[in-house]
Structures are given as C-alpha cells and as structure tokens.
Structure 1
Amino acid sequence: MGHTVFHEGEGKDIDIANLSSSRRHAGNVQTAYKVGFPPQKSLASELGAKLRETFFADDPLRPYKGQPRAKQFLIGLQSIFPILEWARDYNLRKFRSDLISGLTIASLCIPQDIGYAKLANLEPQYGLYSSFVPPLVYAVLGSSRDIAIGPVAVVSLLLGHLLQKEYDYVKTREEYYRLAFTATFFAGITEAALGFFRLGFVIDFLSHAAIVGFMAGAAITIGLQQLKGFLGIQNFTKKTDIVSVMRSVWGAVHHGWNWQTILIGTAFLGFLMFAKYIGKKRRSLFWIPAIAPLISVILATFFVYITRADKHGVQIVKHIKKGANPSSVHLLYFSGSNLVKGVKIGVVSGMIALTEAVAIGRTFAAMKDYSLDGNKEMVALGAMNIVGSMTSCYITTGSFSRSAVNYMAGCETAVSNVVMSVVVLLTLELITPLFKYTPNAILASIIINAVAGLIDYKAVVHIWKIDKLDFIACLGAFFGVVFVSVEIGLLIAVGISFAKILLQVSRPTVVLLGNLYGTAIYRNIQQYPEANRVAGFVIVRIECSIYFANANYVKDRTLRWLRDEEEQLKENNLPKVGFLIVDMSSVTDIDTTGTHAFEELYNGLKKNDVQLLLANPGPLVMEKLHASKFTELVGLDKIFLTVDEAVTNCSVKVQEEA
C-alpha cells in the first residue's frame, strides 16, 4: 500500500508524507503518552460526589471552615436571617434612599393591589393585606436588595381561575376564600421545601422561551379580562380564553357597554401610557409612571364622587374594609377533599410565583453585581406565603414593574419593602373608606397598562433568530394561554420544554471531522468546508454524554457516516476505509447501554475489516470503558490522546506494513 493521502471534497489529494517534519515529529512524541485511568471510586464516594454537585455545588459549609464557634454561630444566623448581615452597615444615607424607594413603590402598589385582588376574585382589601405582612417577612429572610414583594397579575389570574373551577366566589364565598388561603399556605410550603432541600434547579426546567410565551399569553388574557371593567359590562364570562371573552364583549355591545365608563377608562389609560412614555424617555423621571396610577385613582374617584357617575351605570369599588390583616389560621383546610384541592392549586401557583421571583431577583442582582442564593430566596418566599396565609393574604411574589421602580428609585436594601408595608398599613387603617367611589374602569386601565410590559416582543424576535425550537415552545405556551386557559398554557410550556430536552438527549449531534491542512487540528467539515477528510479514515465526534436514551442512535449515526463515506469512495475508485476514529472529547459520561453500543459498533466494524480507534476519552468515560472490559476488547493501543495522534500512528503503521 502506498502513502496515505488527504483528499478534499473537490478531489484534491494531499500526501501525508509531504506534511511538515515538525508535525510528524510531534505525532511521534505524543505516542509516549497513554490515556490514563482515573482512580477507582466506591459506590458511596461516586454517589456522594454526584449528590454534592447537584445539591451543594456552592459548598455551603465553606464560610464556616476555620472559624471559631462564635463566628460560626453568627454566620449560621446570618445565613438564615440576611438582615443581620446588611443591617451592620446600615446608615442614614441608605435609609434616605430606601425611604424614597419605599414611598414610590407604595404609590404604585396600592392601586395595583386593589386591581389584582379583583383578578383573583377577592375583595379589594385582600390585595392590600398581601402587601403588608409578606414584605415584612421577606425583609428579614430575603437576600435581594431590589425585589419588591406583593401580588402580581399573572399569579392572581392563575389563582382566581383555578379557585373558580372548584368554588363559585359569589355563591360559595366562604369556601372560596378558605381554599384561597389554603392554596397560599401550600404554595409557601412548596417554595420553602424546594429551597430547604436545595431543589431550586427544578424551576430551570421551564425554559426562558416558554416563560416568555406564557407571560405574553397571560398578559393578553389579563388585558381581555379587564374589558369587563373598562367597558362597564355587567354580565361577563368566567372563562379566560379569547373566544369566550370576545363573545361576551360583542354580545353586550348594544345593551351592556357604558359610555361614561369607557370615557373614564380611555382617558386615564391614555394618561398612564403617556406617563410610562415619559419615564422611558428620561430615566430620571421614573417617578412619574410610578405615581401615575395613584394620581389616576385619586382623580377618577373625585370625578365620580362629584358627578355621582355611579348612578349612571359607572361601576365602583363600593367598599374596602378598614383595618389591618385579620387572622385566617382557623380558615385553612387541613383535611378532606379541600386539602387535596388546596395542595394542587398551591403547588401550581407557587411554582409560577417562584419562577417569576427568582428571575426578577437574578436580573437585578446581575445589574448591581452582587450574588443571590436561589435556595435562600425560595425559603424566604415560602416563609412569607406561609405567614401570609395565616394573616388573610393570598399568594405574593416579586413584582417586575415594582422591582424596576424600586431599582430606579435607588433602593439600597429590603428596608424599601418595610417602608412600602408601613404605607399600606396606614392606608388600611386610615383612608380605605375614601376608595369607595373608585371606578372599576380606572383599576382596569391600571392593570392593562401594567401587564402590557409582560409582552416582550423583542425577546420573541431574539428567540426566533437564535433557536427555532425555542420559538415553537414560546408560541405553544402563548397560544395555549390565549385560546384555552392559563393552566393549559402552563402545561404546554412545561411539556414543550421537556420535549426539547428529550429531543436533544435522544438525538444528539454526531459530526464528521476533517483536518485543517498543515495543522494537527480536526474540525467539523460543515462548519469548516476547507477541512480535508483523510483517505482511509472516517473521523467523527460525539458531542454529548452517551446514555440509554441515545446510545443506539449514536451508534447508528456513526455507522451511517461510515457507509456514506464508503459509497463516495467507491464511486471515485478510492481506497476503502480502514479506520473509524471516534473523538470523545465532548463525551463526559457513558452508561451500561452506551458501552454495549460501543461493543456492537466494534464487532460490526471488525467484520468489515475496519478498525475502531478512540481519541481523548474523559476520566469517567475511561473508567467505565475499563470496568466493562471494552478497553481489553478494543486494545489500549487503539486509544489515543488526540485525533491527530491516532491518524499519524495508524498512517505510519500502514506505510510500514506496505
């Protein structure tokens, strides 16, 4: 047999004998090194390493090491109560910033809370209750400096929809409220348990694309639900899908719309949108869109009062109960069928609330360059919902709109949440009767203006450009929410996210490699068309771990590359393939099915006089190949450090034999 040659796709041959002597020399030097075997691990040590990496990747015990007992005790308290850490450096300057931030977000949260409570089919005061107690609990246990706590639109809508499927909030009011508090309790238990057992990675299974689609769909659904208050419709569908809502809207066009209500809603929605525009144009004027909702409520309430528009069909809030949160411990269900219902609703709503809060916390932590412990955040969010369920609150989480205002107002610590909470308490104790004439139209306008920001069309375009499968997940979640229901949209989002994971795991990438002429580098020939395939060799790279779900596919795809190459060589009357090199640089793990697949691959190649060579298997892969005796089957002399070493060594042997 003559010299081994490289050949390009166009048929240009490159004789290996003409390669630079330095490269040949480098190839010979490399043969002095062999792929090593890692030390054998026991089952306990291997399992322990996996568990540590999964649950304790951040090594929570590191701050305690080498510290005296007193210091360790203090560190332990600070890890449970972050307020003990940042309170040591708190000063008047920080308080001034937090005071301004707290007052600003309070002016935004009060009208929003009243509206969001209506989304959950609860009386207005329950929205205010939920912005009093939970923020205080979070201020003690939470580690985010910027997140603003309270009810949010998406969770309020989801909770109200799920509760309405179990009890009618008009006919069975007591059961409805009891189930709402029970769901809040178990939402808190879910969140706290995920954090305590360090299972925060679970929420990462909801892809960013699915969340973008779900949030956009929820924003559309919430906006459509506000048409009842915006148009003054008395009888409105309890369904959330767009078809049912539009039927309800257009069915009432001749006798159900109220022009005075539409005038109020349109005028103040225009005012709110203009205020938001000003805030976006000049960041220093962030306070204008922040206080615009409260100003709108005051003006609209005054207008309705002096004109007595409520006697002309304009629907008003009518009554908000005065006083701080009453106890609701005795209202929680801890037995019977309602317990199961509460757990189911709480887990679903709690997971969505948790996802939103963690995403918001991470976003602002990155902007201010400080670290945020996701597991501690979950415990804090869970604790505040558990306490909240016992004080007449419904599910609360981090609000993006209020957190953004909090950030732009210059908040320094969670004291801004405390200030907001105090303002809400004063509102409950002193001025709630003044909201009696607040028109529902203004609350609808505030919610429509708030949820418009949940439709992130730029993110959708970005997803389309980067990953078409992600775009399908985004659209699936969006259309599921808009055309069916919120929970169906959520299920679609979760389902598509898992389907994408399964698709990527079961159908991994196996690429054909070629050599960049004059170098020892081998690259994907589709990414580098100038890369030359080496005559007599088929070189593939497996770009994933090899498990039972993809082992057979990896084997079949590798053989398909081999068959395609042999057919091409046969057509061009070139020498047949003598070697199949599998670059395992990207393979981090392999299981029993994977080793069996490699044995089948080896036996199949042997029958066709094709030698199997492995390049750069990792330590874990090498350990398992050795344990399965595959290294004995294929031979240690067929396992190389690099692809170039494999090509060079085999080419030299072929030339010597010739």
Structure 2
Amino acid sequence: MSANAKDELKTDTDITRIPSSRQHSSRFPYVHKVGKPPKQNLLTELMTSFKETFFSDDPLRPFKDQPKSRKFVLGLEALFPILGWSREYNLNKFKGDLIAGLTIASLCIPQDIAYAKLANLPPQNGLYTSFVPPLVYAFMGSSRDIAIGPVAVVSLLIGSMLQDEIDPKNAVAYRRLAFTTTFFAGIAQMMLGIFRLGFLIDFISHAAIVGFMGGAAITISLQQLKGLLGIKNFTKKTDIVSVMRSVINSAHHGWNWQTIAIGISFLAFLLISKYIGKRNRKLFWLPAIAPLFSVIASTLLVYLTHAQDHGVQVVNHIKKGINPSSVDEIYFTGEYVSHGFRIGVVAGMVALTEAIAIGRTFAAMKDYQLDGNKEMVALGTMNLVGSMTSCYVATGSFSRSAVNYMAGCRTAVSNIVMSIVVLLTLLLITPLFKYTPNAILASIIISAVVGLVDVEAAKLIWKIDKFDFIACMGAFFGVVFISVEIGLLIAVSVSFAKILLQVTRPRTAILGKLSRTSVYRNIQQYPDARQVPGILIVRVDSAIYFSNSNYIKERILRWLNEEEEKLKQSSQPKIRHLIVEMSPVTDIDTSGIHALEELFRSLLKRDIQLALANPGTIVIEKLHSSKFADLIGENMIFLSVADAIFTFAPKTTEEA
C-alpha cells in the first residue's frame, strides 16, 4: 500500500475498525460513523427554507447574466406568455385552435345563459363572462388547453351566498354585489400568485374536492327541477329536504306538462349524446354541439307552437351589445363591502382550485409544465378586469376544457376564437333567444353537472384511505343536506383535521431482520422478519415536533412494555438495547430533543441502552447542537440498524 493510501486511511474519520475479536466477520468488517454536517447559520437556514417554500422554481433564473434589454423582454414574456409562444405560431396550429374554439363556443353559449340563471343573474352576464375573461387569460395564462368561462359549481356558490345577503328581486343591488364579489375574488387570486402562496390550495385534499363536487352536482340538479317542471314558486334554500318539500308541495298546481315534455325529452337527448361521445372519441363533437342544437330546436318549437301562452316559461329578453362598464357599480364603501369580500374570497378559492386542477390534468397529458403562481395571477387579473366589465367569477371549465382538448387545440388562441364567437352572438343573435324555454337551460345544466358525481373516484378513495373517505362523504352530505358553504367548510375542516391527526399521531413500527440480508423491516408487513434477542428496534415515521414528541416518547415506551411482557411470559432474555430507526425523521425541534432526553433517562433507569440509527443531516446537526449526542454517547449513533446490531449482538449477526 502506498504512503498516501495509508495516510488517507488514518485520517478517515467516518470509519471505525471493529475490535479484532470481531474482525473475522467478512460481512461487517467496519462500522461507519454518522457524518456530522457543517453547522449553518440562522440566516442561511431561513433563506433556504424561504426559497424552497416560495421560490423553489427559481423564477429569476432566466434573467441571470442577461443584458437589460433582454431582461425587459423576458419580463414581458413572463407576464404575457403569449409573447413567447406566438413567435412559433403557424397556420397548422391555427387550424387546430380554430376548430377547437368554434366547438367550445357552441357549447359555452347555451351553458353561459344557463349558469347565469344559476347565479340569479341576467343571461347576458353569463355571455359577458365568456367574452372578456377568456381574452385576458389568453394573453396571461400558461395553460394551452384550459377553456375559460362561468362554471356550474361557482355559479351555484355565488347564487346561494349572494341571495343570503340581497334578494335577487332587487336586481340592481344584487348585480352590484355580484360584481363586488368578482372584484375581491380577482384580488384574492392575484395576491396568492404575486406572493407565491399557491401551495395553500393544496391543503384541500383530493377526497374533499371529490365529495364537494359530487354534492354540488346533486344540489345543482335539484335546483333545476324548478325549470324542468315549470314550477313558479320555488324555495331559495339549496338543501335536498327543502327542495323536495317545495317540489312535492307544488305538485298539485305548480307543474306544467308542456314544460316537462320539453325538458325531459331534450335532457334525454343531451345525455344520450354525451354517452355516445364517451363511447366513441371520434364523435366528441356530438355532445359539444348538442346543447346549442337543443337551444335552437326548443326555441323554434316554442315560437311555432306559442307554448309560452300555455305556461311554458321562457328567457324573454337578453340584452344586446358588448360588455358595459361596471366600475361604478362595484361597492367600495358601505355595508356590502365586507359581504363582497367574504363571498369573493370563498368563490375565488373554489374557482382557483378547479382551474389549477384542470390545468395540471391537461398539462400532464401533453407533458408540459404549468406555473401555478402565474396561473393565479392570470386568473386573478381576468376576474379583476371582468368585475369592471359586467362579468361574474370565471374559471376553467372541465367540460369545455375536455372538449377543447379533444377538438385539437394547440394554444390559448382557442379561447380567443371562442370570445370572438361570443362577441358576434352578443352583437347579432341575442334577440333570437327570446323564446328559449327555461326547461332547456335546466336540461343543459343537469347534463353538464352529472359527470361531477364521480362514483368510481369515491370507491377508490374508500379502498385507499378510510379517513379520506370520511372527508369525501362529509363534504358531500354537507352540501346536499345543509348548504354549499357548509359543505365547503366541512371539506376544508376535515382536510385540516387529517393533517393535524397525521402530525400529532404519527405511525411507529417494530422492525425485524429479514433472513439472509442486513435489511430490517416492519414485522407486521413482513411476518417472517425476526426480532433480535435482547434488542428492540422501533422506527418513527415522522418528523418529531412539539405537537407529537410526547406521544412518540410514550408510544416507544408502550412498545417496550408490550415486548417485555411477551418476553416475560415466554421466559426469554430481557431487552438490553432499544434502537430508534430515524431515517424517516426529516426534522426535530427542541420539544423533540427533550422527549429523547426523557426517553434516554427513562430507559437508563431500566438498565436499557438507547441508540439511534441513521439520523438525517438536519437531525444529527441538532442532536450535536443540543449536546444530546454527548449525553447518549456518539458511539450510540449509528449509520444503520445493521451497524447497531453488529455492535450489540455480533454473534446474532454472523449467524444470520
């Protein structure tokens, strides 16, 4: 061996030779010490945490080492992504966007009119919302596939919450509060993006969203019984009990058979079209144009038969012309500002959650990255501008986005095409909707939201996680039996409760050795794993914080007591060593250190040696900083469970 090699071996502080009595083992000739990382100062640690939380994507990276002129261009492209991808735009892409835009326009026009009624707003406001917001999003959004406009769930949420503050019959005040709500929804969404707080929406679990959407779909469908059955006096409440009571009470004198015939027949047509479109992807255009065809056919039917004279309720009038300014109608002072702010934040968060989920879904399908914070700024800006142009809260529509995707959209230009078609509709066609029956709008809404009831997703949630299923059902029944707001509150509350439960009551496990290996695994998962005589190995599957440190200490002691009771009954040797496997422990705080100190002293009284295995960088640094490493002894902190076992029970290791 060369002199340099000998010097390297002598100065290697991470390897300790086992005493000569143990050197005959070829499997474990060395026990490695746990490396002690260099200590970081507080400012560096805080800056690292701050960067990982808010700037993990390093948004300033493209600007580094660039001239000022280039930085200005990059800044504009960051704010308006269309300036970047438009340079590569060509006729082939435009063909795809044109077809997709025309297809989603045929779907959005009847939906917009229907969703506006769901929000208790004039039908033209629904069309306004599919004109200005999609244009703004096309310039600022980063998703290529999302289709912007009013959606059923947000429309219901706004309608149910606004009518609790102002009677929809007071049309002017109600409309002003709707614009105020949209204004604050846009502000809330923008602030989340600007301050890079998008991670907050991830606190609402997928299970809670599935339950909330399903409950909202049921509630929305029940609300449409008014239009589907031709009922004039209908409850303002959204819970299933109140709605069904209102339907039953009106059965003798409030139903209209002509309305029922129109509504049920076209609802069947819409559902069959949707079924055919799902079975044959080449016919995706059929369910897309079915709503517009239904509106045209039913309107013509009412006009020719004069059904409005026989009790069939119709739209009557849609205001002609483009979006009028509504800046002066927003409440900036007075008692309704607080109501607008509260409802706006709730509606904005729901709209944001839906849009981000849709955008991420289609981005994954086409394999491109979606910048969540940019999306929030884009969505917030479009709602802010929309509130000033007679729109209410807009977001990404799943049904329209799916049609947009299947129609072959290539970029956000499909939204621009859709907006132009809506503009032409507002300028030229709106008087033709005069005889459109309300029943057809109810049918369109029901056919659109029926897909939100995802039974298969609920079954999967039940199989995977029972607590998730409770969250799902809590949100579902909260929406159906109480109100949309309460259902949303339950969804958020259960999601947070799950987080708290997992943080305060983390999992622990007893480990055993798999035969013919140096691997130690959970004995419940691997029944063949054999525990080492005289040694108890416990794994902690969580960071150790003030919220769970006392529980972890007590749970380890309970494991110890249970094992000692078993050993006593079987007359086996007592436990002399307790090894805590700490590889899953990502962090530890002061309370966690104190809990380990208490555990060490408690074990010391019972003549049991505590050892730690494989603590991570942050954990080992804190163990040294707190002097706990000195208390337990540095030779009791091991790189792996196998090293600890070899130190405490070499004969057992060699036999295995």
Aligned match of 1:404: 402
Query: Which of the residues 405, 410, 413 maps onto 2:411?
Result: 413
User: 1:542-557, aligned counterparts within 5 Å?
Assistant: 542-557=540-555
Residue 22 of structure 1 deviates from its aligned partner by 9.8
Whether the 8 Å CA contact 2:582–2:612 is kept in 1: the answer is yes
Using the alignment, how far apart are the partners of 2:595 and 2:312 within structure 1?
A: 73
1:288 and 2:286 are equivalent in the alignment: yes
| Worse overlay, 417-426 or 63-72 | 63-72
Aligned match of 1:14: none
Secondary structure at the counterpart of residue 27 of structure 1: coil
Secondary structure at the counterpart of residue 301 of structure 2: helix
User: 1:462-611, aligned counterparts within 5 Å?
Assistant: 462-611=460-609
2:484 maps to a residue whose letter is: V
Aligned match of 1:639: 637
Using the alignment, how far apart are the partners of 1:618 and 1:136 within structure 2?
A: 50
Aligned match of 1:440: 438
Using the alignment, how far apart are the partners of 2:629 and 2:652 within structure 1?
A: 22
Residue 24 of structure 1 deviates from its aligned partner by 3.5
Residue 62 of structure 1 deviates from its aligned partner by 1.7
Aligned match of 1:5: none
| Worse overlay, 262-271 or 332-341 | 332-341
Residue 36 of structure 1 deviates from its aligned partner by 1.7
Secondary structure at the counterpart of residue 98 of structure 2: helix
Using the alignment, how far apart are the partners of 1:160 and 1:446 within structure 2?
A: 18
Residue 505 of structure 1 deviates from its aligned partner by 0.6
Aligned match of 1:161: 160
Aligned match of 2:26: 25
Using the alignment, how far apart are the partners of 2:377 and 2:28 within structure 1?
A: 56
Using the alignment, how far apart are the partners of 2:27 and 2:650 within structure 1?
A: 13
Whether the 8 Å CA contact 1:82–1:143 is kept in 2: the answer is yes
- Residues 396-442 of structure 1, C-alpha deviation per residue, up to 9 Å, x if partnerless? 00000000000000001111000100110110110100000000000
Residue 38 of structure 1 deviates from its aligned partner by 1.4
Whether the 8 Å CA contact 2:147–2:397 is kept in 1: the answer is yes
Aligned match of 2:137: 138
Residue 64 of structure 1 deviates from its aligned partner by 2.1
Aligned match of 1:426: 424
Using the alignment, how far apart are the partners of 1:44 and 1:521 within structure 2?
A: 39
Using the alignment, how far apart are the partners of 1:260 and 1:367 within structure 2?
A: 45
> Structure 1 regions of 5+ residues with no counterpart?
1-20
Using the alignment, how far apart are the partners of 1:568 and 1:184 within structure 2?
A: 65
User: 1:321-400, aligned counterparts within 5 Å?
Assistant: 321-400=319-398
Using the alignment, how far apart are the partners of 1:78 and 1:371 within structure 2?
A: 16
2:26 maps to a residue whose letter is: H
Using the alignment, how far apart are the partners of 1:212 and 1:290 within structure 2?
A: 24
1:315 and 2:316 are equivalent in the alignment: no
Q: Quick one: structure 1 residues 433 and 23, their matched pair in 2 at CA, closer, same or farther if it must change by over 3 Å?
A: farther
Whether the 8 Å CA contact 1:583–1:615 is kept in 2: the answer is yes
User: 1:241-260, aligned counterparts within 5 Å?
Assistant: 241-260=239-258
Aligned match of 1:34: 33
Secondary structure at the counterpart of residue 538 of structure 1: strand
1:160 maps to a residue whose letter is: G
Residue 67 of structure 1 deviates from its aligned partner by 3.1
Secondary structure at the counterpart of residue 326 of structure 1: coil
Q: Quick one: structure 1 residues 633 and 519, their matched pair in 2 at CA, closer, same or farther if it must change by over 3 Å?
A: same
Aligned match of 1:114: 113
Residue 457 of structure 1 deviates from its aligned partner by 0.8
- Residues 478-527 of structure 1, C-alpha deviation per residue, up to 9 Å, x if partnerless? 00000000000000000000000011111101100001122111010001
1:538 maps to a residue whose letter is: L
Residue 634 of structure 1 deviates from its aligned partner by 0.4
| Worse overlay, 271-280 or 129-138 | 271-280
Aligned match of 1:87: 86
1:270 and 2:231 are equivalent in the alignment: no
1:60 and 2:68 are equivalent in the alignment: no
Using the alignment, how far apart are the partners of 1:23 and 1:165 within structure 2?
A: 81
> Structure 2 regions of 5+ residues with no counterpart?
1-21
Query: Which of the residues 610, 618, 624 maps onto 1:626?
Result: 624
Secondary structure at the counterpart of residue 649 of structure 2: helix
Secondary structure at the counterpart of residue 536 of structure 2: strand
Secondary structure at the counterpart of residue 210 of structure 2: helix
Q: Quick one: structure 1 residues 91 and 25, their matched pair in 2 at CA, closer, same or farther if it must change by over 3 Å?
A: same
Aligned match of 1:198: 196
- Residues 589-609 of structure 1, C-alpha deviation per residue, up to 9 Å, x if partnerless? 000100000000000000000
Residue 96 of structure 1 deviates from its aligned partner by 1.1
Using the alignment, how far apart are the partners of 1:22 and 1:514 within structure 2?
A: 24
2:454 maps to a residue whose letter is: D
Using the alignment, how far apart are the partners of 1:277 and 1:334 within structure 2?
A: 47
Aligned match of 2:233: 235
Using the alignment, how far apart are the partners of 1:74 and 1:525 within structure 2?
A: 60
Whether the 8 Å CA contact 1:24–1:648 is kept in 2: the answer is no
- Residues 110-155 of structure 1, C-alpha deviation per residue, up to 9 Å, x if partnerless? 0000000000000100000000000000000001000000000000
Using the alignment, how far apart are the partners of 2:540 and 2:615 within structure 1?
A: 11
Aligned match of 2:71: 72
Using the alignment, how far apart are the partners of 2:183 and 2:37 within structure 1?
A: 49
2:146 maps to a residue whose letter is: I
Whether the 8 Å CA contact 1:28–1:649 is kept in 2: the answer is no
Secondary structure at the counterpart of residue 142 of structure 2: coil
Whether the 8 Å CA contact 2:23–2:29 is kept in 1: the answer is no
Secondary structure at the counterpart of residue 534 of structure 1: coil
Using the alignment, how far apart are the partners of 1:303 and 1:145 within structure 2?
A: 39
Using the alignment, how far apart are the partners of 1:224 and 1:71 within structure 2?
A: 56
TM-score normalised per structure 2: 0.95
Secondary structure at the counterpart of residue 613 of structure 1: strand
Whether the 8 Å CA contact 1:583–1:616 is kept in 2: the answer is yes
- Residues 189-231 of structure 1, C-alpha deviation per residue, up to 9 Å, x if partnerless? 0001101111000000000000000000000000000000000
User: 1:184-223, aligned counterparts within 5 Å?
Assistant: 184-223=182-221
Identity among equivalent positions (%) equals 68
Residue 74 of structure 1 deviates from its aligned partner by 2.0
2:247 maps to a residue whose letter is: V
Residue 654 of structure 1 deviates from its aligned partner by 11
Whether the 8 Å CA contact 2:579–2:641 is kept in 1: the answer is yes
Secondary structure at the counterpart of residue 103 of structure 2: helix
Residue 25 of structure 1 deviates from its aligned partner by 3.3
1:524 maps to a residue whose letter is: N
Q: Quick one: structure 1 residues 269 and 653, their matched pair in 2 at CA, closer, same or farther if it must change by over 3 Å?
A: closer
Secondary structure at the counterpart of residue 24 of structure 1: coil
Aligned match of 2:127: 128
Using the alignment, how far apart are the partners of 1:353 and 1:559 within structure 2?
A: 48
Q: Quick one: structure 1 residues 244 and 491, their matched pair in 2 at CA, closer, same or farther if it must change by over 3 Å?
A: same
Residue 583 of structure 1 deviates from its aligned partner by 0.5
Whether the 8 Å CA contact 1:23–1:520 is kept in 2: the answer is no
Residue 336 of structure 1 deviates from its aligned partner by 2.3
Whether the 8 Å CA contact 1:480–1:489 is kept in 2: the answer is yes
Using the alignment, how far apart are the partners of 1:368 and 1:71 within structure 2?
A: 29
- Residues 556-608 of structure 1, C-alpha deviation per residue, up to 9 Å, x if partnerless? 11111111111111111111100000000110100010000000000000000
Secondary structure at the counterpart of residue 25 of structure 1: coil
Using the alignment, how far apart are the partners of 1:47 and 1:364 within structure 2?
A: 35
Using the alignment, how far apart are the partners of 2:524 and 2:178 within structure 1?
A: 56
Using the alignment, how far apart are the partners of 2:183 and 2:25 within structure 1?
A: 70
Using the alignment, how far apart are the partners of 1:434 and 1:23 within structure 2?
A: 95
Using the alignment, how far apart are the partners of 1:22 and 1:71 within structure 2?
A: 65
1:397 maps to a residue whose letter is: T
Secondary structure at the counterpart of residue 246 of structure 1: helix
Using the alignment, how far apart are the partners of 1:500 and 1:589 within structure 2?
A: 20
Using the alignment, how far apart are the partners of 1:392 and 1:590 within structure 2?
A: 52
| Worse overlay, 328-337 or 339-348 | 328-337
Using the alignment, how far apart are the partners of 1:168 and 1:159 within structure 2?
A: 13
Q: Quick one: structure 1 residues 654 and 243, their matched pair in 2 at CA, closer, same or farther if it must change by over 3 Å?
A: closer
Residue 624 of structure 1 deviates from its aligned partner by 0.9
